[in-house]
Amino acid sequence: METAHSTICRSAALYFYQGTDLDLLLPVAEALSERGFRVLALLDPRLRASSPRTSAALGSPAFETFVGSALGLRLLPALLRSSALVTACDTTARPHARGYWLTRMARLCGLRTFTLQHGLENIGLTYYDAEYPPQRVDFASDIIFTWGPLSGLDPRVPEAIKRRCVPVGCPKVREPARVPDVKLPFHRDKLVVVFENLHWSRYDGGYRERFLADLEAAAAAFPAVSFLVKPHHSGRWLSERFGGRLPASPNLMLADPKDPVWEPYTAPALIKAADAVITTPSTTVFDSVCMGKPVAVAAYDIPVPLYEPLAIIRSSKGWNEFVGQALDGREGPRLEASARGFRDRVCLPGDGASRIAQYIEGSL
C-alpha cells in the first residue's frame, strides 16, 4: 500500500532555468521515471515563455510541472513533496545563482540535493577565471555529478568540493538516431554550422573581430557551401548584443534563437544536419564529436588544452583548411582518431543519465 511518506521518498524535483537545461535534465527525468520515481519539473516562468520546446517536453504525463522563480516561495510546495532536488547547475557564480539558492532552500527542507556538470567548461569544476577565482565559487548540492574522472578537474578545485564529485559520464542523449531531424528552411548541398558564445568575458574585441571577419571570408571562399551561424541560446551575442555590421554572404544565414522559426533548432539537431562544425570553445565540441561530425575550435591566441587533439583554428587560413579537409573526406580517418582521443579523455563512456538515477535511488 502506497502512503504519503512512501510517495515523497520516491519523488524527485528537477529545476529547469536555462534553455540548455532540457538537454541535460530530460534524460535524467526519464531515467528516474523508469525507476518508478514521481518526477516534479520545476520550471522558471521566463523559460516557459521563451522556450516552447521545454514546455512541450515537460508536458508529458510522466511529469508534474510547477512554475515559479527560485527566488520566491512558489516552488516550496513542490520541494515539500520531494525527497531530492536535481539542478543542471548550482554555483555561486551569477549565471547559476538561482540553482544555488533553490538548492539552499531544498536543503533546509531536508531534501538530498544533486547538481550536474552542465558543460565541458564548468566554472568551479574544470576552470576558473579572473571574474570567478576559486575563493568566489562554491556549490550548495550534496553531490556533484561530473562527466569525466576527477583527474580532469581543475587542480585548484578545493578538497571540500572534490569530495562531493561523483564521475558518471554525460547525461545528454548522444546517439544521432535519438536526436530529432530538422528540415532546414533553405536548400543546400553541404552545410557548415558555426556556433558562437561570444558573450563570454573570455573573448576580447580582437578575438570577436577576427572570428566575424574569418567567418565572412570562409563563406566567400566556399560559395557552394551553406554556412549557418547559431548564437548561444542565452548569450545571443551576434543576434542581439552586437551592434556592428553582421557578416554577410549569399550563402550565410543567422539562426536567431529568439525567432520562433529557429527556436526548435537546437544545437544537437543542427549538428546532426551539419557536414562540419566550427565553434568557439564550448560544449558544442563534445556534442559534435559524439555525433561523429568533423569539428574545429576557433581559438586564435587563447590556450585551449582541453580541446586537444582536435582541430584548432588559429587564423583565417585555418578556417579554409578545415572546411576543405572536412568536406572532401580525405582527412576523415585522422579527424576521427582525434575525436576518439578527445572524447575518451573528457567523458566516461556509457549512459550517464541512468547512472545518475541509480545513484539518486541508492542515496535515498
CA–CA gap between residue 300 and residue 315 (Å, rounded)? 6
Rounded to the nearest angstrom, the gap between the alpha carbon of residue 360 and the centroid of all alpha carbons in its chain is 22
Residues 99 and 20 placed together within one structural domain of the fold: yes
Residues 206 and 80 placed together within one structural domain of the fold: no
Per-residue confidence band for 226, with pLDDT thresholds at 50, 70 and 90:
very high
Per-residue confidence band for 148, with pLDDT thresholds at 50, 70 and 90:
very high
* Per-residue pLDDT tens over the stretch 5-42: 455 668 999 999 988 899 999 999 999 999 999 999 99
Find where cell 573570455 sits: 202
Please say if the pLDDT value at position 235 is more than 80: no
Residues 109 and 231 placed together within one structural domain of the fold: no
Cell digits for 198?
561570444
> How many other C-beta atoms can be found within 10 angstroms of the C-beta atom of residue 53?
15
- Residues making up the chain, counted from first to last: 364
Residues 149 and 193 placed together within one structural domain of the fold: no
Residues 288 and 355 placed together within one structural domain of the fold: no
Q: What is the CATH number of the domain that holds 61?
A: 3.40.50.2000
CA–CA gap between residue 166 and residue 78 (Å, rounded)? 26
Residues 60 and 158 placed together within one structural domain of the fold: yes
Instruction: Kindly list the distances between the CA atom of residue 199 and the CA atoms of 122, 207, 238, in Å, as whole numbers in the listed order.
Output: 16, 12, 8
- Could you list the residue range(s) of the whole structural domain that residue 108 is in? 4-170+349-363
- Domain count of the chain? 2
Rounded to the nearest angstrom, the gap between the alpha carbon of residue 81 and the centroid of all alpha carbons in its chain is 28
Residues 124 and 157 placed together within one structural domain of the fold: yes
Residues 353 and 341 placed together within one structural domain of the fold: no
Per-residue confidence band for 264, with pLDDT thresholds at 50, 70 and 90:
confident
Residues 329 and 353 placed together within one structural domain of the fold: no
Instruction: Kindly list the distances between the CA atom of residue 62 and the CA atoms of 31, 86, 340, 343, in Å, as whole numbers in the listed order.
Output: 11, 17, 36, 32
Residues 162 and 203 placed together within one structural domain of the fold: no
26 φ, ψ to 5°?
-60, -45
Where would I find the H helices in the chain?
A: 4-9, 21-34, 45-50, 52-57, 76-80, 97-108, 159-162, 205-221, 267-273, 284-290, 316-328, 332-346, 352-363
CA–CA gap between residue 202 and residue 13 (Å, rounded)? 33
Residues 335 and 281 placed together within one structural domain of the fold: yes
pLDDT, average across residues 316-345: 88
Q: How far apart are the first and last CA of the chain?
A: 19
Residues 209 and 122 placed together within one structural domain of the fold: no
Q: 130 Cβ partners below 8 Å, 6+ apart?
A: none
> How many other C-beta atoms can be found within 10 angstroms of the C-beta atom of residue 279?
24
Per-residue confidence band for 356, with pLDDT thresholds at 50, 70 and 90:
very high
pLDDT, average across residues 345-353: 95
Per-residue confidence band for 176, with pLDDT thresholds at 50, 70 and 90:
low
* Per-residue pLDDT tens over the stretch 39-97: 999 999 999 988 888 998 898 888 999 999 988 889 999 999 999 999 999 999 988 89
- Predicted local distance difference test score (pLDDT) of residue 1: 43
Instruction: Kindly list the distances between the CA atom of residue 163 and the CA atoms of 111, 117, 145, 159, 208, in Å, as whole numbers in the listed order.
Output: 19, 15, 11, 6, 38
215 φ, ψ to 5°?
-60, -50
Across all residues in the chain, what is the average pLDDT?
Answer: 90
- The answer to whether 86 touches 14, Cβ cutoff 8 Å, is yes
